[in-house]
Structure 1
Amino acid sequence: MQKNTLLPVLIGVVVVCCVLVACVLLFTGGEGQTTYIVGIDGDHLPSTAIIIEDRERIPIGFDVETIQWIAEKEHFAITFKEVPWSIIPELIERGDIDMFYSGYSITPERAERLDFSQPYYKTDIAIAVRKDSGVTREMFDNGEIRIGSQQGITSVDKLKEIFGIERYDEMVSEGKIVLFSAGTAGFGESLKYLDTGEIDAIIYNKITLEGYLPDWKNLTILDTIPTGEEYGIAVKKGNTKLISILNKGLENFRASGKRAELLEKYHMSETLA
C-alpha cells in the first residue's frame, strides 16, 4: 500500500494556523475588542497620580485601578494619557481622549458639554492653612487673608458663592485671591506657596488635600465646607454606548469586594449610600 505523505503536511498546516490565530487573540485581546483612551490628571491623589519607575511614567490611584478592573471585566482595552485640566471638554469633543476619569466633579456647566457616568465618589471642599498661622474660618470668610486656588475647579465656584462675583473679581485683581494653573504644577505650587507663607490658605477638594497634607508637616485642614460634590467619568455628549458600559462596570465594581479593597488601600472612606 502506498504511504499517504499528504496527511502529515495537512495536519502541520492546521496546527500552525491554530497557533497563529491563538497568538492574534492573545495580543489583540480577542475579536472586536475596543481600546479607549483614558485622560487623567497626573497629580490628583488618591484618584490618580504618576510615579516614575525605570524612567517610565506609571499611573496609579483609585480611579486608575478602578478603570483597569472595569476594562478587564467588560473586555475592552485602555490607554492612559495625561491631559491639561483646563481643556478637558475640548479634548473629549475632539476625540483626543474617550473619557476623563480623574476626580472630575459633575456640575451643571460641565454637563452642558459632556455626559457623565453615574457618580462613583462623593467629597466636600476643604480649607488648608499653616498650623502656626493663626488663620481662622472667620478671617477666611471675611476675605482678610490671601487665598489660593486653581483655575477651572469647583473650589473657585465656591469662592464666587462666598464672596459674590463682584467682590471675587476685585479680590483676584488685587491679588487677595491667587489662581494657580490647574493640574500637576498648579497644585504643587499652591502647596509650596502656602507652606512658605506667600498665601495664607488654599481651598480645594477635601479628599485630595487629605492625600497630600501628610507630606507637608506644617499644613493642616482648617475647616470643611460641605458640598457633597460627586465625581463621575466624563465622555463625549451623546456617547450612550460608552456610558452604558461604564455604568455597568461601576455597578459591578460596587457589588464586588474590589471597591472596599481599593478604598482601604488609598485611605478613602465610603461616601456612597
Structure 2
Amino acid sequence: MRIVVCVKHVPDVQAERALGESGFLVRGDDDVLNELDENAVQEAVNLSGGDGEVIAVSMGPEDAVDGLRRALALGADRAIHICDDRAAGSDVLATARVLAATINRLSEDGSIDLVVTGMAALDGMTATIPSALAAHLDLPALTFAKTAELDGTALRITRTMKVNDEVLEADLPAILSVTDQANEVMYPNFKAIMAAKKKPIDEIDLDDLGLAEELAGVAGSGTKVKAATQRPPREAGEVFNDAGDGGKKLADYILGVMK
C-alpha cells in the first residue's frame, strides 16, 4: 500500500500572526508542523501497517522542510517538498491543484491507494483541502474521521456530525481527513529523530509538475487579500459597582454596545 499524507508548515498558534504588505502571512523562526497534520501522519502510518510506503508531501518556502523532517520522524518513509516562489500566495484552490499534480506524478511510479490529511490547517482553518483534492483527483472523500479502518480494499470511517455519529465507507483509492480524536500521536524518540535525517526529501517545482505558473500562487488563486490591518490591542474592561442596580447597569451597557 502506498499512502500520501499532505502536511503544512504553519506559524505556531501561540505566536503573534500578521499579514505583510503583500497580503501574505509573515513567517518566522517559530513555524512548526501543523498540529492536526501530526494526527494525519500517525493515521497514515497506522493504516500502512508497516508494510506500505508513507510519503509526506508539503508545499511551502525553504523552511517548510523542517515540517517534513517532523513528519519523517513521526514515521513517514520519505518526503516531497514543493518549493517554488511562483507558488507563494496560493489559496486553497491553487494549493489543491499543485498537491493533486504532485500526487498524480507520484502515481506514475505506482498507484496511490490513499491520500490522508489533517482536518484543517491551523493558520487558515478552511478545512477544504480534502474536498478540493477529491475534486481534482476524482476520488471519494471521507472527511472529519474520528476512527478509520481498512477492510480489504474498503475504507470505513466514523465521524460525529453535531450530535450523531455517521459511518461512511468507500473503496480505495480515496481521500481521508482525520480529526485529533483519530489517534494518539506517538511522539518520536531520539532514535527516530536521528533516523529522519537520513530519510530522503525530494525538492520539486512547478516545472517538474508540468504546471504553468498561472495555475499556482496569486495568479491561480480564486481569492485574494485586498487589505489587512493589525488587530487593535485589548482595552481594559469597564467595572460596574453593584449598589443594588448592577443588573440594570449591565443591561444598559449591553444595549449600548449592541446599538
TM-score, normalised with respect to structure 2? 0.29
Structure with bigger gyration radius? 1
TM-score, normalised with respect to structure 1? 0.28
Q: Per chain length, whose mean CA-contact separation is higher, i.e. which structure has more relative contact order (CA < 8 Å, sep 6+)? A: 1
Q: Please identify which structure carries the higher helix content.
A: 1
